[in-house]
Each structure stands twice: as C-alpha cells, then as structure tokens.
Copies of this chain bind each other. A is one copy, B any other.
Amino acid sequence: MPKRVVVPFAGEEPKSRLEPALRDEERRRLAYAMLADVCEAIRAAGHEPGVLATGALSPPAGLMGVRALTEAVVTVDDRPLSVAVNAVLERALPSTGVNTGHEGVAIVMADLALATPDALADLFGTPGEVAVAPGRGGGTNALVVREPAFRVDYHGASYLDHRQVAADCEASWSVVDSFRLATDIDEPADLVECWLHGGERSRAALESFGFGLETTDGRVRLER
C-alpha cells in the first residue's frame, strides 16, 4: 500500500474543457463535487487523501458532505501540475535505493468521479515499481510510484511517456485495467459517464444543473 495518496487539484478555473456544456459556476461546483467524491473513496479504501492544490480550497456553498474536503490535508503549490507532483515525489521517496515493496506514493486525479474504494484498492495493491491506471486519450489517471528515479510528465500522451520513463529507470511497469479509473471527466461527452456511474456528489451536481439522458443513434449523451 502506498504511504501517501496525493490528489492534484486546480481550483481557480477548473475543468475549462467543459466550457461548451457548463457555466463557470457549474464547472467549479462539479470540480469540487468530484474532488470530494474522490477523497471519500480514497478514505474508504483506507488512506488519507492529501490534496495538492494550486491555491487554498474554497468549496462552493451547499456542497453535500463538504467535510470530506475540509478535513483533507491540503498542500498549496501553484506551479504547473507535473512540477508540483515531481516535488512531492522527490520529498516522499528515498533518493537512493529502490523500494519494491508495497509503499510508495499514489497520484490520483481529482476528476475521477467514477472511482470507487474497490477500484482504488486494486490500484494501491498492485505490485511493481510503477503501477498505472491509463486514462482515455493516452492519459495517466492514477499511478503508484515506488521507484525514486521516476518523474511524471502529464503533457500529451503521458501513458506512453510514463512507460518510457519507467523503462529508462529500469522500473517494473504494471497496468491496472479499470473503466472507473480510466474515466476522467474532462469533456462534455464524459458527463454521461459521471451521470451513469459516478459518485454521489458528482451525480447530484449534474442533476441540480438540469441534465437528463438523451438517446441518440449511438451512445447516449447528457443534455439539457
């Protein structure tokens, strides 16, 4: 099991790629709802989430179960995502020697609205120096790092890049096959996944915005 579980969160202008579907205030509300759902799932999996935020958290009024957030340990680092995460890895992992045990640091994205305690426990319990849950579109949605030399770079096809970084530092590479962890809520087409399979607060947020299922010739979508 990882020693630390870090949840990076950009609270200022969250979820900008959802702009075609959601207003500013809605994006902020959904982002905090997802963060709270993710933190609760991590806690139910037996770990204390540490939020790595670009600024002080300011959850919107009336967010259900906001305690899940206010009780979380928050570290503020306003640098870009990869730089901030690498600073955590540098601090938390021993600079020499390889740790192949079950400790290490987990990085779990804050928009994994479908994450459940079971899916996270599977990830946390996956052995290997680097264990990764790929995200759609070549992303890296969650990972456990036990190799001190490993560094993240979330830009572009980070799944491929991270696999290469692991190979470069001769770290073993494990992949976790989870629909729940592969589904980050980033674009309008993702909202339907949150509606169908997401955590309680995230689904409630979408319901409060007035969305409903729309059947098409192909996949169903969320519309209002």
Check A138–B218 contact: CB distance below 8 A.
no
Q: Binary interface profile of A, 112-151, with partner B (CB < 8 Å = 1, else 0)?
A: 0000101100000000000001111111000000000000
Check A157–B196 contact: CB distance below 8 A.
yes
Task: List B contacts of A160 (CB < 8 A).
Answer: 196
CA distance A213 to B115 in the complex (A): 28
Check B178–A219 contact: CB distance below 8 A.
no
**A interface bracket (residues with beta carbon within 8 Å of B):** 35 or more
Query: Known contacts being A197-B134, A219-B186, is A177 close to B213, with CB within 8 Å?
Result: no
DSSP class of A's interface residues: helix, strand, loop or mixed?
A: mixed
A220 located at the interface, meaning its Cβ lies under 8 Å from any Cβ of chain B in the complex: yes
A102 located at the interface, meaning its Cβ lies under 8 Å from any Cβ of chain B in the complex: no
Q: Binary interface profile of A, 158-188, with partner B (CB < 8 Å = 1, else 0)?
A: 0110000000000000000111111100110
CA distance A208 to B189 in the complex (A): 29
Check B138–A219 contact: CB distance below 8 A.
yes
Given contacts A17-B217, A157-B213, A179-B179, 5 further A-B contacts (CB under 8 A): A17-B218, A118-B177, A137-B218, A138-B213, A179-B182
List 8 A-B residue pairs with CB atoms under 8 Å apart, sorted by A's residue number.
A118-B177, A119-B177, A138-B192, A138-B219, A156-B215, A157-B213, A177-B179, A186-B218
Using a CB–CB distance below 8 Å, which chain A residues touch chain B?
Answer: 17, 116, 118-119, 133-139, 155-157, 159-160, 177-183, 186-187, 189, 192-193, 196-197, 213, 215, 217-221
